[in-house]
Amino acid sequence: MSVGKRIRALRAKNKVGSQEELAYLVGTARQTISLWERDVCLPEGANLLKLAKVLNTSVAYIMGETPTPESSEPEAGAPRPGRDGVKTAYSLSAASPEPLFISMEKSANGKTVRYELPPDCAERVFPFVERLWQKIEKEMEARG
């Protein structure tokens, strides 16, 4: 199922009656919702996060990475990182102290997408970044 069809189906399932209503809830234009639902372009960044929240699902489901809204299993036939000839690279930049700054980048199939988290999101994500780095440091120390 395409991203647009998933958005339309989730809109119906969540009783969001129109593209205008969904646009209001996500904080974008009705024309943008129309473009997403017709698969002309894909939602990204903050809009994708808001869309998942409004439609009570995960970003992974909207983007076709899982077969059901509640599932965490990859959809059959979906490209898997490091498999199926798809090379994917991720990059994360984070800076502290104030203001917190987190920038993420994903490269796959010759395309690179960069997203800078809004400050309120960066504040929520930064503790995870710090814990991940501490885990990496411990593993490096254990290896000698």
Four-residue CA torsion sign, 69, 75, 81, 87: negative
Q: pLDDT tens-digit profile of 56-68? A: 988 888 988 887 7
Name the CATH code of domain 3-62 (choices 3.40.50.2300, 3.20.10.10, 1.10.260.40, 3.40.640.10).
1.10.260.40
| Contacts made by residues 58-67, CB under 8 angstroms, sequence distance 24+ | 61/6, 62/3, 62/6, 62/7, 62/10, 63/3, 64/1, 64/2, 64/3, 64/6
Helix (H, G, I), strand (E, B) or coil at 105: strand
Q: pLDDT tens-digit profile of 41-85? A: 888 888 888 898 899 988 888 988 887 777 444 455 555 544 455
Domain boundaries, the chain: 3-62, 88-143
Distance of CA 58 to the CA centre of its chain: 8
Q: Which residue has the higher pLDDT, 92 or 34?
A: 34
